[in-house]
Amino acid sequence: MTVTEIPLVEATTSETAISRLKERFPGAVQDDSRHGYSGVVVDKSKLVEVATYMRDTLGYDYLSSATAVDYHGIADSMEMVYHAYRTAGGPALVFKAQTDRAKAELPSLIDVWPGADFQEREAYDLYGIQFAGHPNLKRILLWEGFNGYPMRKDWREAYYEEEHKPFESRWPAGWVRRAEELNVYGKNVHYPADFDLAKLTDKSEESLYSDLGLGVNVQDLSTENGHLKTDKLVVNMGPHHPSTHGVFRMIVTLDGETIESLEPVMGYLHRNHEKIGERNSWNHNMPFTDRLDYLSSMGNNHGYALAVEQLFATGNKWNPPSYRAECIRVLMVELTRIVNHYWAIGFLLNDLGAFFTPALYAIAEREKILDFFEATAGARMMCNYMRFGGLYKDLPERMHSVANLINDKVRDFNTMEYLSELINERIPRSIDELDEFLTASEIIKSRTVGVGYLPPEMAIAYSAAGPLLRASGVPYDVRRADPYSIYPELEFDVAVRYNGDIYDRYLIRLDEMRESVRILKQILPRLEKTKGEPVAGISQYMPRVPMGESYGRVENPKGELGYYVVSAGDEKGPQNPWRYHVRAPSFINLTALGPMCVGHKVADVVAILGSIDIVLGETDR
């Protein structure tokens, strides 16, 4: 393993960059003067030129997040909010571009940062913003015949009740009714005004294939001498395929067994998580974050808590989390990193054909960590443990369970003793066993070395994050590059590998698990020292959050997980988010899947996808 320490970068760098932008583009770059907002607003006619200058001259080579916001009712405009970073480290340079709602159009930044590809398609799909110059602008989470743009503030779903929760039908009077009673099933589908159901001819599949540029009509394949042409073959892998990690589909163009192009198709699990989040109160969203990456719920909680806490910190009555609460948060998220990587390595081997034996070895150790999560949070996977300003509760003195069934095994352990054995003995031993059994396997090496190559410059350009980015030789880790919580005082290294293939993406997860153990060993004495400190967060059921915007991001196991939230519309502080957006690493990391697969075989596709380590709850949201 090669490790790199990234120096912490002074927070003044973004202010310096903004000053240089305003000097270089007078009149086209203005400070965002709205209360609680940051960054600059860029004239959309200069957006591409400004973005190019940021990347090439100011060194902001990494576009992390591109978020659409609809300000209907506050202003008659829409906005794209971009967060750009330097891979050398430092805080974000936040810039925005605004457009009229009636004719929402902005220039595409895909030629500056190819990682904007899927994010711009998402903004088009859910908000209807047209991105001039985007080479493949079509819906990405919804089907092509969907009526309207569901994230717009004036869009109403079939079973719409009220703008915000809690609904009057449920609280406080308690006159509960099913929303379906107001709209009979079968009458709940909306079609465009010019849509004739009797003449329906679905063209969405044709558009998917035509954009591949194959010169092949898949609806009516021509023949030569009575035989089907076989020079090009289009194969669908998924969505119902055991190796596509759930409901995910890949359209693969083959020349024989060699892949010529691949396009990911997603959205089969889409439930508009963000619309739900904007209807919920701030507190209500915490358990919903668990269900994004359901293998990493503690990390999901942490990112959302940080985003909202940034807004609370601008108010007058804010008490930040206690030191003990911060220690427990780091304990939970680093255990979560290990949980995730156990699963990722086990199922990567599954994808390579080692059916379930390596996965079961990894899952068996993962269960020991989940036992601790269950004893502390009350749940093994959907933990809902963190709160704004703290935690749901402190660690229990003992991990105790009762027998519900005849053969149930009753647990009764001292929690700190259990943690000490887990961190100092069990987890390191299991990591070493995985390393010993798998790393030198000639079968694994023959299937993974040199396969799915992602060069470092492409990884940065495509906004790759996490192990996918660091296995390509880019030592970028949010915990070091833009640190949060108590990470600045902890000793650990940013693991980095340089070959950019499946094998290095496997190795770097082992490296990261060992670094997490290193962090956890530093947390244990801190837990003993802070025993008795309070950990509870804000107690209000419906807290009011100061007006403004924030972006909270964490280094989740799969990469950078970010939440962009806006509190607007009420000077007292609204009880519901105006904007709630998830920068999902599983979604954005798929941008590089197609280029990584070109030139490989069909069997390699499954392994390359597995090495990215996606979860569809987070991909589709």
Dihedral over Cα of 169, 172, 173, 175: its sign: positive
pLDDT tens per residue across span 33-73: 999 899 999 999 999 999 999 999 999 999 999 999 999 98
For domain 273-620, the CATH superfamily is Cytochrome-c3 Hydrogenase, chain B (1.10.645.10)
At residue 21, what is the residue type?
L
Q: Where in the chain is the domain with CATH 1.10.645.10?
A: 273-620
The share of the chain scoring above pLDDT 90, in percent, equals 65
Q: Of the given ranges (92-101, 116-125, 211-220, 422-431), which has the lowest mean pLDDT?
A: 211-220
Those residues with Cβ within 8 angstroms of residue 144's Cβ, 6 or more apart along the chain or in another chain: 138, 203, 204, 207
- Which two tokens mark 602? 């069909």
β pairing state of 93-100 and 40-42: parallel
Nearest of 416, 596, 550 to residue 67 by alpha carbon: 550
One-letter identity of residue 472: S
Start-end ranges of CATH 3.30.460.80 in the chain? 14-132
pLDDT for the residue numbered 7: 41
- CB-CB neighbours of 94 under 10 Å: 20
**Distance of CA 329 to CAs 42, 101, 322, 485, 486, Å?**
37, 41, 11, 8, 9
The amino acid at residue 20 is R
Residues 564-600: pLDDT tens digits? 999 987 777 778 999 999 999 999 999 999 999 999 9
Q: What does the block give as tokens for 181?
A: 């009673």
Cα–Cα distance, 543 to 554 (Å, whole number): 23
pLDDT at 204: 60
Tokens representing 451 are: 């396969």
| pLDDT tens digits, one per residue of 513-558 | 999 999 999 999 999 999 989 988 787 777 888 999 999 999 999 9
Both tokens assigned to 248: 């995910």
CA 446 to chain centre: 31
pLDDT band at 354 (very low <50, low <70, confident <90, very high): confident
Query: Which is nearest to 472 in space by CA: 357, 395, 559?
Result: 559
pLDDT above 50 (res 202) = yes
Rounded Cα distance between 302 and 320, Å, is 14
Q: Tokens 């196991």 — which residue?
A: 557
- pLDDT tens digits, 307-337: 999 999 998 888 899 999 999 999 999 999 9
- Is 50 exceeded by the pLDDT of residue 192? yes
Neighbours of 364 (CB within 10 A): 12
- Between CA 529 and CA 327 the distance in angstroms is 11
* Residue pLDDT, tens place only, 406-452: 777 777 899 999 999 999 999 999 999 999 999 999 999 999 999 99
**Average pLDDT score, the chain:** 88
Say yes or no to pLDDT of 203 above 70.
no
Collapsing DSSP states into helix, strand and coil, what is residue 178? coil
Tokens of 502: 């499946």
pLDDT at 1: 52
Q: 399: helix, coil or strand?
A: strand
Regarding the domain with residue range 14-132, which homologous superfamily does it belong to in the CATH classification? NADH:ubiquinone oxidoreductase Nqo5 subunit (3.30.460.80)
Report the DSSP pairing between strands 77-85 and 93-100.
antiparallel
Cβ–Cβ < 8 Å for 94, 38 = yes
Are the beta carbons of 22 and 29 closer than 8 angstroms?
A: yes
Residue 65: in which H helix or E strand, if any?
strand 62-70
Q: What is the pLDDT of residue 158?
A: 77
Query: What is this structure's pTM?
Result: 0.88
